[in-house]
Chain A
Amino acid sequence: MPDMEQAAVASGEPAGAQERYFVRFTRAQRYMHAVLFTTFLGLAATGLPMRFSQSAWARRFASGVGGFGAIIFFHKLFAVILTLAFLIHVREIFQRALVRREKGIFWGPTSMVGNWKDVKDLFGHLRWMVGLGPKPQFERYAYWEKFDYWAVFWGMVVIGFSGYAMWFAPFFARFLPGWALNAVLVIHSEEGLLAILFIFSIHFVNTHLRPDSFPMDLVIFTGVESEEEFKTKRPMEYQRIASEGKLETRISHAPALWLTNFSKVVGTIAILIGLTLLVLTLSAYFGS
């Protein structure tokens, strides 16, 4: 991960004497996540009222923000921003794979692509949960993190395509059959619902609210984590880097106080919005 090493070098500060901090995410990755979650919250907040347009809260919310016209405007705006972010990400993958010939991008310990270890980790993790085995030693990306990534990746393709098919229906009708225009709404709304339910319950708990990270894992905001966290959460990555003698390249400094506080505020707001939307979704889904 040359980006990561550059980031660490660029920080240029010596490691703290008491506790060392290591870079996990580059600045670009953190920005990407910020764009991802703000547009996702926006898409969820404007998409749910459409999905549950018969519920009272949807109508109140819609009239509060200026009616349906405003809702669809912001939904499309967030969609376009997210699409751009997605395309930037795809371009980066191509660049790293084809231009820079990074082998580790599709396989190896730092890849997002699933491998046999992930399958073993999943079962090992489940065994550990019920007290039947030791806790698996995770690499840079654990299997649920890879699932999160691919769920979002697949979700963006599916939701994005079906969304644009509705937005530009007459254009898409040039090469899609008529019934596909019916299908895209079903696909868009069901996949959107899945994404919303998954992110606002599973991802929130797995990544932020579980006891080891509670109330939130700030690493996606600050980019760095303490050595202890690194060691316990991703022991295999730590050992691998240590054995390669590259620990030094990843060392950074503790996040600035303002960044930590800012991250806490932003993270809390995001989680609260998400949980509110989750409650509204569930109430509309089971109430109707």
Chain B
Amino acid sequence: MADETGAEMKTVSSTALTLAASAILMLAAPLGAVAQTDCLGCHGDASLQDASGHSVGVDAPKFHSSIHGSLQCGDCHAAIKEYPHPDKVTPVQCETCHADEAAGLVGSVHASRAEHPCTSCHGDAHSIFPKSDPKSAVYPLNVPRTCGNCHGNGEMAKKHGLNNVYPLYLDSIHGFALSKEGLLVAANCQSCHGSHHILSHKDPASPTYKASVPKTCGNCHAGITADYMGGVHGKAVLAGKLDAPVCSDCHTAHAIEQPTASAFRMQSTPICGNCHKDKFSTYRDTFHSQLGSLGGYVETARCWDCHGAHEILPASDPRSPINKANLVQTCGRCHAGANLSFVQYQPHANARNRKLNPALYFIRLFMNLLLASVLSFFMIHTILWLIRSRYDQVKRRKAEGGKNA
């Protein structure tokens, strides 16, 4: 029907068109009330282009099924009051209806309307679907791809000084849950960053601001967040000590792994070591670390296996797994048969510290002296011996009339 009308209309002279349009306008002004079919008469041709080559065609059936399908063209294209309309018309103002969303954009990282028109996320203006519709660009399972249009682009990331996060997200536990399992509840970009009022993580009002991260993750991971807030790190963050780690410091923001995965277990001890330098260095001296540093053996104790991961409590707390009363049970999780004597093992002993670990200090000193004295004595002994033997050998061969060496 639209096609036929279009073809017909193109064939008639512009005078006739003007006349016809004027008649319609007179009959039913303003344009908003005009049936879509009138506009689609021209714009229903999907290949229609304006003078500068931009597509101005509308896929009529798709538009009709979209959330705006029941609106009249003039509801959005309010600047067009008559036919023929000027070549250049002012852009559609979405905020006329979507005032809240527009207000949200103000001050956000996407505030520039020129760089980030609504369509950059919501897709083609004439095929916008509700976010609950799988066809929508902002349907939960489509959000990462939509954001990834820009945030999966290395050039664009470089230009804005951002990390190219899209590939990291896709390979993360959230990305897998979303793309492989199709879990609607899996965190997508906007679960953490919000949608319209997206702020830099440096902005204290942002849900990705360091102090707000536990609450943001807690929107889904409520139990873990409650544990975390009860531990030393959560309390420190609550007290405004932002050196303390939040969820993303250990789990990262985008490349989040299954915490039991070997890659996570292998890479994560140094994260604690960033702050707990002395504990990390003494851990490195132990068999736990030696075992754990070589690939393929991930069961060995890492920081959180003894200290807990989220509700980390000081050893003085009777609920702490490293409280004296709980050590047999904590160590016993790996070391079957651990007894009271066994748990006096110091997982952070420092053999270089005479005051803290005198026995260990002197044992190490003795071993080092033994090593140094035996090796230096025999080194000198061997070198002298070598020189003398060689000297004798050369002399002997000369005496025998043979060649040297």
Q: Which residues of A contact B (CB under 8 A)?
A: 49-51, 53-54, 58-59, 62-63, 66-72, 125-126, 128-131, 144, 151, 166, 169-171, 173-174, 176-179, 181-183, 185-187, 190-191, 193-194, 197-198, 201-202, 205-206, 210-212
A120: shortest Cβ distance to chain B, in Å?
A: 16
* Given the contacts A62-B294, A185-B287, A179 and B344 also touching, CB distance less than 8 Å: yes
**A70-B363 contact given A173-B339, A185-B286, A194-B370, CB 8 Å threshold:** no
Q: List 28 A-B contacts (CB under 8 A).
A: A50-B291, A67-B296, A68-B292, A72-B291, A125-B385, A129-B381, A170-B336, A170-B339, A170-B342, A171-B337, A177-B344, A178-B341, A179-B345, A179-B349, A179-B360, A181-B344, A183-B363, A186-B363, A190-B367, A190-B371, A194-B370, A201-B375, A202-B375, A205-B382, A206-B378, A211-B389, A211-B390, A212-B393
Instruction: Please pick, from B292, B338, B379, the residue contacting A170 in the complex, using a CB distance under 8 A.
Output: B338
Q: Given B287, B297, B382, B392, which contacts A67 in the complex, CB threshold below 8 Å? A: B297
Q: Provide the bound-state CA to CA distance between A197 and B372, in Å.
A: 11
Determine if B111 is an interface residue (Cβ-Cβ < 8 Å).
Answer: no
Complex Cα spacing A202 to B296, Å: 35
Q: Which residues of chain A are within 8 angstroms of B297 by Cβ–Cβ distance?
A: 67-69, 72
Closest to B367 in A: A190
Q: Which residues of chain B have C-beta atoms less than 8 A from A194's C-beta?
A: 367, 370-371, 374-375
Determine whether the beta carbon of B296 is less than 8 Å from that of A198: no
Q: What CA separation (Å) do A177 and B343 show in the bound complex?
A: 10
Interface string of B364-377 (1 = CB under 8 A from A): 10011011001100
Q: Which residues of B contact A69 (CB under 8 A)?
A: 296-297
**Distance in Å: Cβ of B6 to nearest Cβ of chain A:** 67
- Whole-angstrom CA separation of A66 from B357 in the bound complex: 36
Assess the A178–B344 pair: CB atoms within 8 A. yes
Question: Would A126 and B384 count as touching, CB distance under 8 A?
Answer: yes
Q: How far is the CB of A216 from chain B (nearest CB, A)?
A: 15
Q: How far is the CB of A66 from chain B (nearest CB, A)?
A: 6
Contact check, A181 vs B364: say whether CB atoms are below 8 A apart. no
Q: How far is the CB of B202 from chain A (nearest CB, A)?
A: 35
B296 in contact with A62 (CB, 8 Å): yes
Please report the C-alpha to C-alpha distance between residue A128 and residue B336 in the assembled complex, in whole angstroms: 59
Q: Is the CB of B360 within 8 A of A211?
A: no
Q: Which of A53, A181, A182 counts the most B-chain CB atoms under 10 A from its CB?
A: A182
